[in-house]
């Protein structure tokens, strides 16, 4: 097909605004997937996506559309996630496109992630087609949505298309807008072959498979290709397109989106954002990729069974190929043995990765409490980055600790503002400004420490606003804070898996909660065990593990009381000796329970 008759576009929106359902209608209208095969949320192929009802990975698919003017067009569509933790998936998909459908829920209006994704598309210079989705809902408020489109996103209301992904209203208008408003593939006249790697997966039989957008030239089996980032050479074994299953084709031309199977077995040899070119006639310049993703949340992941260490390492390598924002490096812990320090973009991202390791690779794992990257200025003037509490220097060598902050834009109903501001203050944050969104909602711009929003902030936001609140955030600056390292001691011995960096004012409360929880989970021993929270040499909280008591006087029937006392004193002496030399066994599930509940 001629390059001028190809269009590349993504569907972007806030969580749950109907991206994947709209994709179903586009697949149905263009007969890409037969009606008997098509199922709801067809592009969400991962079990986790179907269970949670969210899109986790971008899903490319090629559609063929005969337009009203009689021309047949090839449309390359990418369905993208909406959650803030997966915004890197959106930016990667947009790098391979010339346009984007911006979906707005007719009942919810413009939400936090709608604004963030619209800005991502504008930064890449893409054509944005606004679509007001779910117009068939009884609670739809079209007038308000069109007003917000102009006020918040500066997009003319007359550009919007009214549609319903559920009933199929407006699907033809969307397809016509794609072929008339979105420009043909850019940079297609470049003299050499250039393909952008926007994703990749690992196949046990075919090795590493690269998902590519061909910007110029062509690529076919038996071509010798070059990875421009590290000059790795490979031979192409197979090329194909997504329908949405992988379908083999003879060649990929300029403007196409498809996959390449090369003789590459090592997942690390394919890098997302790399440019692939022909070895015989290499391109002089790489395609502009995207910003390197920096993990924001760190956690240790350890195998429950120590012999699974190599299996876990291999699994993480394959998973990293499919998820460029996930990073890991080996570390060891006294309590948990050998494992990995892993970096994630957020708590949902961390949860999904851990679940994928368990399901897709069958490795049973334990994870430590999540932490962020702190910058520490030492007394000698040296500055270091700390992502693990164990690596925090001695307090006497620390001059200042800087913690990362975020700039959050929180959309909330008017009647919940007071409770949300109280939550922000509880999390050591501040509200910088307030904007009115419409008659019922406000946007709060808040600055919060990143480590305070890790665990329960989003859940409490949803709870306070009865599900109507939403938040998107970006990393802000580092600010000095009174932070301390809190250790948990069991029978006087520190357990490094429970170490954390906390604010000085919250150390007593958090330490007390953790000690109480751990004292309940550790099984009873024959001697008294103290569970303590300590900052340096100072104990800030304590609880005791309940003791088992053997009835040593069971065989004494009557007689002098001194006989019983003698046996009880002997038992007490034995317990005192045992406390000095006895070992406390903490079962593996104790780590899981404490860290999960916390």
> Three-state secondary structure along 130-153?
EEEECCCCCCCCHHHHHHHHHHHH
Known binding residue 368? Answer is: no
Q: What CATH number did the domain enclosing 521 receive?
A: 3.30.70.2570
CB within 8 A of 391, min separation 6: which ones? none
Known binding residue 19? Answer is: yes
Known binding residue 482? Answer is: no
Q: Are 228 and 310 found together in one domain?
A: no
Q: Are 250 and 322 found together in one domain?
A: no
Widest distance between CA atoms in the chain: 110
Q: What's the confidence (pLDDT) of residue 156? A: 92
Does 35 fall in a domain? yes
Do the beta carbons of residue 486 and residue 510 sit within 8 Å? yes
Instruction: Detail the DSSP E strand segments found in 466-509.
Output: 470-481, 483-490, 493-494, 500-503
Could you say which of 112, 147, 181 is where a domain stops? 181
Q: What does the alpha-carbon distance between residue 332 and residue 323 come to, in Å, rounded to a whole number? A: 24
Q: Are 198 and 327 found together in one domain?
A: no
Does 189 fall in a domain? no
Known binding residue 134? Answer is: yes
Q: How many domains does the chain have?
A: 5
Which secondary-structure segment (H or E) carries 408? strand 398-413
Could you say which of 413, 448, 481 is where a domain stops? 481
Q: Are 344 and 239 found together in one domain?
A: no
Do the beta carbons of residue 22 and residue 103 sit within 8 Å? yes
Q: What's the confidence (pLDDT) of residue 47? A: 65
Q: What's the confidence (pLDDT) of residue 142? A: 92
Q: Are 127 and 165 found together in one domain?
A: yes
Q: Are 313 and 341 found together in one domain?
A: yes
Known binding residue 135? Answer is: yes
Do the beta carbons of residue 589 and residue 523 sit within 8 Å? no
Does 229 fall in a domain? yes
Could you say which of 481, 508, 533 is where a domain stops? 481
Q: Are 544 and 574 found together in one domain?
A: yes
Q: What is the full DSSP assignment across 10-51?
A: EEE-STTSSHHHHHHHHHHHTTSS-TTT--TTTT--SHHHHH
Q: What does the alpha-carbon distance between residue 462 and residue 454 come to, in Å, rounded to a whole number? A: 15
Known binding residue 564? Answer is: no
Residue span of the structural domain in which 167 resides: 3-181
Q: What CATH number did the domain enclosing 386 receive?
A: 3.30.70.240
Q: Where are the alpha helices (DSSP H) in 413-538?
A: 417-426, 457-464, 507-521
Does 283 fall in a domain? no
The β-bridge relationship of strands 500-503 and 275-278 is unpaired
Q: What CATH number did the domain enclosing 255 receive?
A: 2.40.30.10
Q: Is 340 helix (H, G, I), strand (E, B) or coil?
A: strand
Known binding residue 243? Answer is: no
Q: What's the confidence (pLDDT) of residue 598? A: 43
Q: Where are the alpha helices (DSSP H) in 154-208?
A: 171-181
Known binding residue 458? Answer is: no
Does 290 fall in a domain? no
Q: Are 39 and 164 found together in one domain?
A: yes
Q: What CATH number did the domain enclosing 100 receive?
A: 3.40.50.300
Q: What does the alpha-carbon distance between residue 358 and residue 365 come to, in Å, rounded to a whole number? A: 7
Q: What does the alpha-carbon distance between residue 243 and residue 422 come to, in Å, rounded to a whole number? A: 50
Q: Are 173 and 26 found together in one domain?
A: yes
Does 416 fall in a domain? yes
Known binding residue 16? Answer is: yes
Using the structure block, give the residue that is written with the tokens 């208008």: 173
Please tell me the number of Cα atoms within 13 Å of 361 on its side-chain side: 24
CB within 8 A of 12, min separation 6: which ones? 19, 80, 82, 90, 94, 100, 101, 102, 103, 117, 118, 120, 121
Does 287 fall in a domain? no
Q: Are 310 and 232 found together in one domain?
A: no
Question: What sign has the CA pseudo-torsion 42, 46, 51, 56?
Answer: negative
Q: What's the confidence (pLDDT) of residue 113? A: 84
Q: Is 352 helix (H, G, I), strand (E, B) or coil?
A: helix
Q: Is 163 helix (H, G, I), strand (E, B) or coil?
A: coil
Q: Are 554 and 464 found together in one domain?
A: no
Q: What's the confidence (pLDDT) of residue 272? A: 82
Known binding residue 21? Answer is: yes
Q: Are 333 and 465 found together in one domain?
A: no
Q: What CATH number did the domain enclosing 322 receive?
A: 3.30.70.870
Does 289 fall in a domain? no
Mean pLDDT, each 10-residue run in order, the chain (598 residues): 91 87 88 71 61 74 89 90 76 88 91 86 92 92 90 90 91 94 91 90 85 93 90 92 90 94 80 89 82 77 87 88 83 81 85 87 84 88 86 86 91 89 92 84 90 80 83 86 88 80 87 86 77 87 80 68 76 59 58 55
């Amino acid at each position: 097909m001629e390059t001028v008759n190809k269009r590349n576009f993504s569907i972007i929106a806030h969580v749950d605004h109907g991206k994947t359902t709209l994709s179903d209608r586009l697949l149905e209208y263009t007969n890409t997937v037969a009606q008997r095969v098509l199922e709801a949320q067809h592009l969400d192929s991962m079990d986790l996506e179907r269970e949670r009802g969210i899109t986790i990975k971008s899903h490319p698919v090629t559609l063929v559309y005969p337009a009203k003017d009689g021309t047949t067009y090839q449309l390359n569509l990418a369905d993208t996630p909406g959650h803030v933790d997966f915004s890197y998936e959106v930016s990667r998909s947009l790098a391979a496109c010339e346009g984007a459908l911006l979906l707005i829920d007719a009942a919810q209006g413009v939400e936090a992630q709608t604004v963030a994704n619209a800005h991502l598309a504008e930064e890449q210079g893409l054509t944005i087609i606004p679509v007001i989705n779910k117009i068939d809902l009884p609670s739809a408020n079209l007038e308000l949505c069109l007003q917000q489109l102009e006020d918040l996103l500066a997009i003319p209301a007359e550009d919007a298309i009214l549609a319903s992904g559920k009933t199929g209203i407006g699907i033809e208008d969307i397809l016509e807008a794609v072929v008339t408003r979105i420009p043909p593939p850019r940079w297609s006249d470049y003299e050499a072959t250039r393909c952008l790697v926007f994703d990749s997966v690992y196949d046990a039989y075919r090795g590493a498979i690269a998902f590519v957008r061909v910007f110029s030239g062509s690529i076919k089996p038996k071509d010798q290709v070059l990875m421009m980032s590290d000059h790795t050479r490979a031979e192409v074994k197979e090329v194909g397109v997504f329908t949405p299953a992988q379908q083999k084709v003879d060649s990929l031309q300029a403007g196409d989106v498809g996959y390449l199977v090369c003789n590459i077995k090592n997942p690390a040899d394919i890098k997302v954002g790399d440019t692939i070119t022909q070895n015989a006639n290499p391109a002089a310049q790489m395609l502009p990729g995207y910003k390197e993703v920096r993990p924001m949340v760190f956690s240790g992941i350890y195998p429950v069974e120590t012999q699974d260490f190599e299996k876990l390492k291999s699994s993480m390598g394959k998973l990293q190929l499919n998820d460029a924002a996930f990073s890991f490096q080996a570390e060891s812990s006294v309590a948990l043995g050998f494992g990995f320090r892993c970096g994630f973009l957020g708590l949902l991202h961390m949860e999904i990765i851990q679940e994928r390791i368990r399901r897709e690779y069958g490795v049973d794992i334990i994870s430590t409490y999540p932490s962020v990257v702190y910058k520490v200025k030492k007394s000698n003037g040296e500055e270091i980055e700390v992502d693990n509490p164990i690596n925090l220097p001695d307090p006497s060598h620390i001059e200042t600790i800087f913690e990362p902050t975020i700039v959050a834009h929180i959309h909330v109903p008017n009647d919940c503002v007071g409770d949300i501001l109280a939550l922000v203050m509880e999390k050591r944050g501040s509200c910088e400004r307030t904007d009115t969104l419409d008659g019922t909602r406000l946007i709060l711009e808040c600055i919060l420490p990143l480590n305070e929003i890790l665990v329960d902030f989003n859940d409490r936001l949803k709870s306070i606003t009865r599900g109507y609140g939403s938040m998107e955030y970006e990393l802000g600056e580092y600010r000095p804070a009174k932070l301390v390292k809190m250790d948990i001691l069991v029978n006087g011995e520190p357990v490094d898996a429970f170490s954390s960096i906390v604010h000085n004012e919250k150390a007593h409360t958090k330490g007390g909660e953790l000690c109480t929880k751990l004292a309940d989970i550790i099984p009873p021993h024959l001697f008294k065990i103290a569970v303590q929270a300590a900052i340096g040499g100072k104990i800030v909280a304590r609880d005791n593990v309940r003791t088992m008591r053997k009835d040593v006087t069971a065989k004494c029937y009557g007689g002098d009381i001194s006989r019983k006392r003698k046996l009880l004193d002997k038992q007490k002496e034995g317990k005192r000796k045992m406390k000095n030399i006895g070992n406390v066994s903490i079962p593996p599930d104790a780590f899981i329970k404490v860290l999960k509940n916390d």
